[in-house]
């Protein structure tokens, strides 16, 4: 595992011009399969495992989750207006562990065996228990998720959020909540990857999944959480 402190990390990156006036950091290092990349700053701490799941497992879980999960479209509040989500969502958790966000409260379904297996694989790395997972299914790149942070009080202080991606590769962005001098961060979330967001990241940074209209394929994201 290679640990890259952020100052060293900055030396190894290319700043690419983006179509808005922002520039994003792009990691140009190539990592071996088992390696994780850590990016750490005062209030930013993420770890990325590009090949957390093998290609075979990733393909299999992707197909099985599309079929087996109790997917639903929910009504959430966005900028004060009630909207039906274009993405489909699901919430699996230990008994009684509800989750509320954007004016919506999700009642848990009982653990699906594949979700439970993936949860255990993550726990072997984090040595922290998760009792719930939020699933999002994006039909294609025309659907994303706006800027937010996972800082609801039921997640506790400095929560670890473990995000597994399956299907189409998508960019994932971070931007500091207050300090505009901090460069936004861009990470490519690959099929079978695991992103751990740790420390005080949720309290200081927003994240988003930007729209990428050229992407025509589906993607599933699983964010494992611990509701306290």
- Return residues touching ligand AKG (CB under 6 A): 134, 136, 145, 150, 163, 172, 189, 207, 209, 221, 223
- Least distance (Å) between residue 195 CB and ligand AKG: 8
Nearer to ligand AKG by Cβ, of 25 and 161: the residue is: 161
Nearer to ligand AKG by Cβ, of 58 and 221: the residue is: 221
Nearer to ligand AKG by Cβ, of 9 and 99: the residue is: 99
Among residues 44, 50, 96, which one has the least CA distance to residue 201? 44
- Least distance (Å) between residue 40 CB and ligand AKG: 20
- Least distance (Å) between residue 5 CB and ligand AKG: 25
Nearer to ligand AKG by Cβ, of 10 and 199: the residue is: 199
Composition of the chain by helix, strand, coil, percent to 5: 20, 40, 40
- Least distance (Å) between residue 136 CB and ligand AKG: 5
Residue 62 to residue 191: CA distance in whole angstroms: 9
Among residues 182, 190, 141, 143, which one has the least CA distance to residue 163? 190
- Least distance (Å) between residue 193 CB and ligand AKG: 10
- Give yes or no for a contact between 185 and 24, defined as CB atoms under 8 angstroms apart: yes
- Give yes or no for a contact between 154 and 96, defined as CB atoms under 8 angstroms apart: no
**Would you say the C-alpha torsion 10, 12, 14, 20 has a positive or negative sign?**
negative
First-last CA distance in the chain: 30
Nearer to ligand AKG by Cβ, of 51 and 221: the residue is: 221
Beta-bridge mates of residue 60: none
- Least distance (Å) between residue 87 CB and ligand AKG: 8
Among residues 100, 105, 99, 103, which one has the least CA distance to residue 80? 103
Nearer to ligand AKG by Cβ, of 36 and 220: the residue is: 220
Classify 72 as helix, strand or coil: strand
């Amino acid at each position: 595992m290679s640990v890259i402190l952020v100052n060293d990390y900055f030396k190894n990156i290319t700043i690419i011009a983006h179509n808005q006036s922002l520039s994003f950091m792009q990691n140009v290092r190539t990592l071996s399969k088992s390696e994780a990349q850590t990016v750490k700053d005062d209030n930013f701490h993420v770890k990325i495992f590009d090949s957390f799941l093998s290609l075979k497992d990733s393909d299999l879980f992707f197909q099985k989750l599309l079929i087996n999960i109790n997917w639903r479209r929910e009504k959430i509040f966005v900028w004060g207006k009630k909207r039906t989500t274009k993405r489909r969502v699901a919430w699996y958790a230990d008994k009684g562990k509800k989750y509320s966000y954007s004016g919506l409260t999700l009642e848990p379904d009982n653990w699906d065996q594949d979700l439970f297996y993936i949860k255990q694989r993550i726990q072997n790395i984090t040595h922290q228990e998760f009792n719930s997972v939020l699933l999002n299914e994006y039909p294609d790149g025309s659907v994303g998720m706006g800027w937010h942070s996972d800082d609801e009080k039921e997640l506790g202080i400095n929560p670890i959020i473990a995000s597994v991606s399956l299907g189409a590769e998508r960019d994932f962005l971070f931007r500091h909540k207050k300090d505009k001098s901090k460069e936004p961060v861009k990470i490519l979330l690959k099929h079978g990857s695991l992103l751990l967001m740790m420390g005080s990241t949720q309290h200081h940074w927003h994240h988003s999944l930007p729209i990428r209209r050229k992407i025509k394929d589906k993607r599933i994201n699983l964010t494992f959480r611990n509701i306290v």
